[in-house]
């Protein structure tokens, strides 16, 4: 690609001006001066760098800053930090220099962003530790994560220039952590775009199919929305309510999720779009005006009573406020209607960023304080400073995805907990000590155990005892990160105090046996018994699991352990070991079924890949290779956390093995149906069946078969033939439940 420096300079200036236009909250002369200084510095430092697309690297920080300014509506400090977010890591700029030029706050945010740069790199423990550090910064200044999400959004928008394996890795980690984090912070627009872009690379065919269907139905949809909204508009105008009506399709990812979950086609997803009524009113009158609008809507259209969601009286944990209802249109279609104020709409789109803007005033308790509380809890957990980082990242991930329930203390104070939370979760939410000493609770005045699952509206009183201490099995009774981390912390404290006793026992034993008490001897003993640390060994000694007087296979010479050697060479029986895979530096491709490459691999039970499926190899902890389908239910988690253990894999043309698949089908029951199905399978398609099961209920049948096929085209032919059998409604390949 030929580079034209003059054209590039013009383009950089054009993009910079676009950033300034987007920066509505940075209009003063002082703000513009600060942004210009950061831009000039970033331009100079990145001048020699280029992106994978061949474009100047400076395009990226400008794009990130534009998202921060326009789509998130953040302040000048955030724009400056967005422009500088890669400088400390990629250039010779130091944090001290950032502080000299801009200030302490800018230094801290750029430092947080630099720490985040390797959060998802290989080496999972280090990765999880970095994630913890990043969250610690997040809980003190949320702008770090907001800028990082803007950075990830720009990376996803330009992902086409990356190699396919990098696309899979980045899309997987985006779905695994970044999209849920955007959701938890209330960034609906960014969350939806991150999910859509991830789907574009993970499930390209399905993405293209839904996108083309949405394009084709756009005009029909617009006509339907116009006629549907006409009577509502008339009535709202007469009532003197200031409003704006928006009708737009749901995100591609949410449509795809519904198709997957409900096993329906695009045409059968009834709420492909939603109508939003945004009311322009002062804050004190919001609730009244929204319910007035709801009354007008339901005067014309019959609502579904099971689909009313009031997030105005009880906002979601991420600050989201809106009234949702689903009504029946004259054409027999269900239509989702969202009614909210302009303030609520901005908070719904920009989440925590908009919450800052509206923090003053009485309404603060409704939206933002729940996010503040959540961030405060994260900070408290992280500052305890111990516990398993990987366990934390998994617990935190669950915290991001959960829906909320609302429960009450005996005094009537409302508390928010994730769905599935128990008596013990509530106890730890009140205070660490209350949780540690909890022996049960009273829910609505009835006695309940620690593991009782709470429901919205429950009133809980915790019963404690000073004799109570946290137990290992408590980890199975709680779902919140907060409770799990506090229980682990308490268990570690107990282990630490018992380890001191174990150390004393070891010290006396060593003295009696003439063993020197040095680091080498301690390490020699704990490694010999495969303990992770000296503390674990001392703990085992203390509780009697490692009896020092019964130790065998060693001598003590000159105060040191000397362990007995194993058997002499060539005296033990030989065992046949399969040839292990040794990675080839040049080609990391696993040719499945290629007899020339004697590779030791197994097919994963979770997704049962067959010849022709898009697959990848995954190196397991034991060193073997498991082969998974790229759309395996576990793939997103594996690729986001352990991408460095992934290998490219493809089927060799020589593969002539038969693979077991499970096919499920439904339809209208009629006489001779089983016979027709088995004829298609066994006689026409020459497929061997391993099992068949069918169940008929009220004239509808459901069934499944396990059959042996040679590849994906063989499977597609079989599914097509089965669909053509009279009475059969749907046929699809399903994963085994493991």
450 pLDDT exceeds 80? yes
**Hey, which CATH number is domain 211-368, 1.10.357.10, 3.30.1360.170, 3.30.460.10, 3.40.50.2300?**
3.30.460.10
**CATH architecture assignment, domain 5-203:** Orthogonal Bundle (1.10)
Confidence category of residue 398, pLDDT binned at 50, 70, 90 = low
Cβ distance 135 to 396 under 8 Å?
yes
CA distance 617 to 287: 54
3-state SS class at 280: coil
| Residue 363: predicted pLDDT | 41
429 pLDDT exceeds 60? yes
Residue 471 tokens read as: 């137990």
| Residue 71: predicted pLDDT | 82
The residues near 280 (Cβ < 8 Å, ≥ 6 apart) are: 242, 243, 244, 341, 342
- Residue 89 annotated to the active site: yes
Which CATH number describes the domain made up of 659-734? 3.30.70.260
Q: Please state the separation of Cα 26 from the chain's center in Å.
A: 33
Cβ distance 321 to 340 under 8 Å?
yes
User: By mean pLDDT, which of 278-292, 358-372, 602-616 is the weakest?
Assistant: 358-372
Q: Encode 234-264: b = buried (16+ Cβ within 10 Å), e = exposed.
A: ebbeeeebebebebebbbbbbbbebbeeeee
Quote helix, strand, coil % in the chain, to nearest 5.
50, 15, 30
More confident residue, 407 or 317: 407
| Residue 273: predicted pLDDT | 76
Candidates 54, 72, 69, 89; CA nearest to 16 is 69
- Residue 208 annotated to the active site: no
CA distance 192 to 255: 11
326 pLDDT exceeds 60? yes
339 pLDDT exceeds 90? yes
| Residue 576: predicted pLDDT | 40
More confident residue, 386 or 28: 28
Strand order in the sheet with 700-709: 688-697, 700-709, 659-668, 728-734
The residues near 531 (Cβ < 8 Å, ≥ 6 apart) are: 537, 540
The residues near 695 (Cβ < 8 Å, ≥ 6 apart) are: 701, 702, 703
Give Cα separations from 88 to 45, 59, 94, 578 (angstroms): 10, 17, 6, 48
Q: Which of 8, 75, 90, 717 is catalytic?
A: 90
Residue 131 tokens read as: 């994630």
Q: Which of 8, 11, 89, 702 is catalytic?
A: 89
Confidence category of residue 593, pLDDT binned at 50, 70, 90 = very low
Confidence category of residue 571, pLDDT binned at 50, 70, 90 = very low
3-state SS class at 365: helix
Confidence category of residue 574, pLDDT binned at 50, 70, 90 = very low
Q: Which span out of 214-228, 278-292, 597-611, 666-680 was modeled with the highest average pLDDT?
A: 278-292
Average pLDDT rounded to a whole number, residues 613-634: 79
Confidence category of residue 278, pLDDT binned at 50, 70, 90 = very high
| Residue 369: predicted pLDDT | 52
Over residues 81-107, the pLDDT tens digits come to: 888 888 888 888 888 888 888 888 888
Average pLDDT rounded to a whole number, residues 602-624: 78
Q: What topology is assigned to 404-479 in CATH?
A: Ubiquitin-like (UB roll) (3.10.20)
Sequence-distant contacts of 8-15: CB under 8 A, at least 24 apart: 8/56, 11/59, 12/43, 12/56, 12/58, 12/59, 12/62, 15/59, 15/62, 15/63, 15/66
CA distance 718 to 734: 14
Average pLDDT rounded to a whole number, residues 340-358: 72
365 pLDDT exceeds 50? no
CA distance 728 to 180: 38
Q: Encode 694-730: b = buried (16+ Cβ within 10 Å), e = exposed.
A: eeeeeeebebebbbebbbbebbeebbebbeeeeebee
Average pLDDT rounded to a whole number, residues 447-467: 86
At 663, phi and psi to the nearest 5? -120, 125
424 pLDDT exceeds 70? yes
Average pLDDT, the chain: 77
Percent of the chain with pLDDT over 90: 5
Candidates 373, 362, 353; CA nearest to 417 is 373
Confidence category of residue 197, pLDDT binned at 50, 70, 90 = very high
| Residue 347: predicted pLDDT | 79
Give Cα separations from 280 to 118, 321, 343, 401 (angstroms): 44, 15, 8, 32
Annotated domain spans of the chain: 5-203, 211-368, 404-479, 490-563, 659-734
Confidence category of residue 194, pLDDT binned at 50, 70, 90 = very high
More confident residue, 98 or 580: 98
Q: Check the CA dihedral 24-25-31-37 and report its sign.
A: negative
698 pLDDT exceeds 80? no
User: By mean pLDDT, which of 11-25, 175-189, 423-437 is the weakest?
Assistant: 175-189
| Residue 216: predicted pLDDT | 86
Average pLDDT rounded to a whole number, residues 331-335: 81
More confident residue, 470 or 569: 470
| Residue 195: predicted pLDDT | 92
Tokens 């674990």 found at: 536
């Amino acid at each position: 690609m030929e580079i034209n420096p003059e054209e590039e300079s013009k383009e950089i200036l054009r993009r910079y001006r676009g950033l300034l236009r987007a920066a509505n909250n940075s209009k003063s002369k002082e703000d513009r001066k600060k942004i210009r200084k950061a831009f000039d510095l970033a331009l100079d430092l990145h001048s020699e760098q280029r992106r994978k697309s061949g474009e100047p690297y400076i395009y990226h920080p400008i794009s990130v800053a534009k998202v921060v300014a326009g789509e998130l509506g953040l302040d000048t400090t955030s724009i400056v930090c967005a422009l500088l977010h890669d400088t400390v890591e990629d250039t010779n700029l130091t944090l001290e220099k950032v502080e000299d030029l801009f200030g302490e706050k800018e230094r801290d945010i750029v430092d947080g962003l630099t720490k985040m740069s390797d959060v998802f790199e290989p080496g999972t423990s280090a990765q999880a530790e970095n994630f913890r550090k990043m969250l610690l910064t997040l809980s003190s200044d949320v702008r770090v994560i907001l800028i990082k999400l803007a950075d990830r959004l720009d990376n996803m928008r330009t992902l086409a220039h990356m190699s396919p394996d990098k696309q899979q890795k980045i899309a997987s980690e985006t779905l695994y952590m970044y999209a849920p984090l955007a959701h938890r912070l209330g960034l609906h627009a960014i969350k939806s775009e991150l999910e859509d872009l991830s789907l574009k690379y993970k499930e390209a065919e399905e993405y293209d199919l839904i996108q083309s269907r949405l394009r084709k139905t756009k005009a029909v949809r617009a006509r339907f929305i116009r006629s549907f909204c006409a009577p509502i508009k008339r009535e709202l105008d007469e009532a003197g309510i200031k409003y704006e009506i928006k009708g737009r399709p749901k995100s591609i990812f949410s449509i795809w999720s519904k198709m997957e979950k409900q096993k329906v086609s695009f045409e059968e997803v009834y709420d492909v779009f939603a109508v939003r009524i945004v009311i322009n009113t002062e804050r004190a009158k919001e609730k009244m005006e929204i319910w007035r609008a709801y009354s007008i809507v339901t005067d014309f259209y019959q609502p579904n009573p099971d689909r009313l969601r009031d997030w105005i009286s009880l906002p979601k944990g991420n600050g989201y406020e809106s009234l949702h209802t689903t009504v029946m249109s004259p054409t027999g279609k269900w239509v989702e209607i969202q009614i909210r104020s302009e303030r609520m709409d901005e908070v719904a789109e920009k989440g925590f960023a908009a919450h800052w803007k509206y923090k003053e005033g009485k309404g603060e308790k409704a939206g933002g304080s729940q996010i503040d509380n959540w961030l405060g809890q994260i900070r408290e957990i992280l500052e305890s400073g111990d516990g398993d980082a990987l366990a934390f990242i998994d617990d935190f991930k669950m915290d991001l995805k959960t829906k909320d329930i609302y429960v009450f203390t005996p005094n009537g104070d409302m508390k928010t907990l994730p769905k599935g939370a128990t008596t013990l979760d509530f106890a730890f939410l009140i205070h660490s000590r209350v949780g540690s000493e909890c022996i049960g609770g009273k829910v609505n005045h009835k006695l309940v155990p620690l593991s009782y699952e709470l429901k919205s509206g429950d009133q809980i009183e915790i019963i404690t005892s000073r004799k109570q201490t946290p137990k290992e099995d408590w980890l199975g009774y709680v779902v919140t990160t907060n409770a799990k981390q506090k229980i682990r912390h308490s268990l570690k404290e107990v282990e630490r105090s018992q380890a001191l006793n174990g150390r004393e026992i070891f010290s006396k034993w060593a003295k009696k046996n003439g063993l020197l008490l040095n680091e080498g001897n301690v390490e020699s003993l704990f490694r010999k018994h495969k303990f992770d640390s000296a503390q674990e060994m001392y703990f085992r000694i203390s509780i009697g699991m490692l009896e020092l007087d019964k130790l065998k296979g060693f001598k003590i010479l000159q105060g040191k352990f000397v362990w007995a050697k194993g058997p002499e060479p060539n005296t033990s029986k030989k065992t046949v070991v399969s040839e292990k895979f040794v990675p080839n530096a040049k080609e990391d491709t696993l040719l499945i079924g290629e007899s020339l490459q004697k590779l030791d691999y197994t097919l994963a039970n979770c997704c049962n890949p067959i010849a022709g499926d898009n697959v990848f190899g995954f190196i397991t902890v034991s060193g073997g290779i498991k082969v998974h389908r790229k759309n395996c239910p576990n793939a997103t988690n594996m690729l986001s956390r352990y991408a460095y253990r992934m290998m490219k894999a493809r089927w060799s043309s020589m593969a002539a093995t038969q693979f077991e698949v499970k096919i499920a089908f439904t339809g209208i029951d009629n006489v001779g149906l089983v016979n027709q199905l088995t004829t298609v399978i066994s006689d026409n398609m020459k497929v061997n069946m391993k099992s068949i099961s069918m169940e008929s209920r009220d004239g509808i049948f459901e069934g499944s078969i396990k059959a042996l096929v040679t590849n994906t085209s063989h499977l597609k032919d079989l599914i097509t033939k089965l669909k053509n059998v009279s009475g059969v409604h749907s046929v699809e390949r399903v994963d085994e439940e493991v």
